[in-house]
């Protein structure tokens, strides 16, 4: 959109999972930036084309970007280089030990605000979109998830602090339970949060809506990674693990058809209100020779 309007379109992509996830996100962003929507390489593209032609800011969850668990510095650098301007983490963001050596210098990375206090990383970031500021938070759910601090206690004061700087607040709510996500979305809307986007379960839901004429919400935006998989992992390994209840190591799918799932949210940056949310699904096939 034009820098002279307060309406801005933000594309948020779900959990980038492994190599195929990184590739499909790279190609999706390239297609958007070059307006190459008729490429023969695209198998499927479901999106509001009037909106996707005017993306002002790119965000993605990256906690599974490196081998399905965690984030290496190389992959962080690569994701920033392809045009992702903000990256959110979840409960797996610290899984790769090397992150501890660079996380405090990773200016585009936002770690969960209610993770244990001894873990490094910035818990809140402000990003510029033309002359406006966007606050980005990652929040971990507590139901069926590892123990974390209570977001119910942490966030009310944090919202007050943020609103002294900007009315525009986007939250990646990284959680397992649908009920907790819905409840959190309604609760956050009462504080005037602009956007609550669910991640973690890797399956896109069809319940996008604007809550209280203010807050864009969806239970899960989906994921970016191998389509013919079990949330990114090999089917046969997953079936054996689940049916036999054995501690079989997960194996991420590394070739074939990839899907990128996300949502586009239109903000009125003057008021902090979301005025529109729509889903995106992009599918592309990768030949073996393309998989490095």
Catalytic residues: 92
In three state form, how does the secondary structure of 104-145 look? HHCCCEECECCCCCCCCCCCCEEEEECCEEEEEEEEECCCCC
């Amino acid at each position: 959109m034009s820098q002279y309007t307060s309406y801005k379109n933000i594309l948020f992509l779900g959990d980038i999972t492994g190599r195929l996830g990184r590739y499909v996100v790279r190609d999706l962003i390239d297609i958007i930036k070059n307006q190459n929507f008729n490429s023969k390489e695209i198998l499927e593209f479901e999106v509001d084309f009037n909106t996707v032609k005017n993306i002002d800011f790119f965000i993605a969850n990256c906690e599974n970007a490196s081998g399905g668990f965690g984030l290496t510095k190389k992959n962080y650098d690569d994701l920033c280089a392809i045009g992702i301007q903000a990256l959110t983490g979840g409960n797996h963001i610290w899984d790769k030990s090397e992150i501890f050596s660079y996380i405090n210098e990773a200016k585009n990375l936002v770690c969960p605000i209610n993770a244990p206090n001894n873990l490094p990383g910035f818990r809140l970031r402000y990003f510029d979109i033309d002359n406006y500021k966007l606050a980005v938070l990652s929040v971990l759910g507590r139901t069926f998830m590892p123990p974390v601090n209570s977001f119910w206690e942490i966030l009310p004061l944090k919202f007050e602090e943020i609103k002294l700087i900007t009315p525009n607040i986007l939250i990646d709510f990284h959680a397992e339970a649908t009920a907790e996500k819905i409840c959190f979305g309604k609760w956050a809307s009462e504080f005037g949060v602009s956007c609550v986007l669910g991640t973690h379960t890797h399956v896109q839901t069809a319940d996008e809506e604007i809550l209280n004429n203010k807050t864009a919400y969806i239970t899960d935006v989906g994921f970016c990674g191998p389509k013919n998989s079990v949330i990114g992992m090999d089917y046969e390994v997953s079936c054996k693990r689940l049916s036999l209840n054995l501690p079989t190591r997960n194996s991420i799918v590394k070739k074939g058809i990839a899907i990128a799932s996300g949502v586009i949210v239109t903000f009125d940056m003057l008021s902090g209100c979301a005025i529109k949310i729509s889903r995106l699904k992009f599918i592309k096939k990768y030949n073996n020779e393309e998989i490095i």
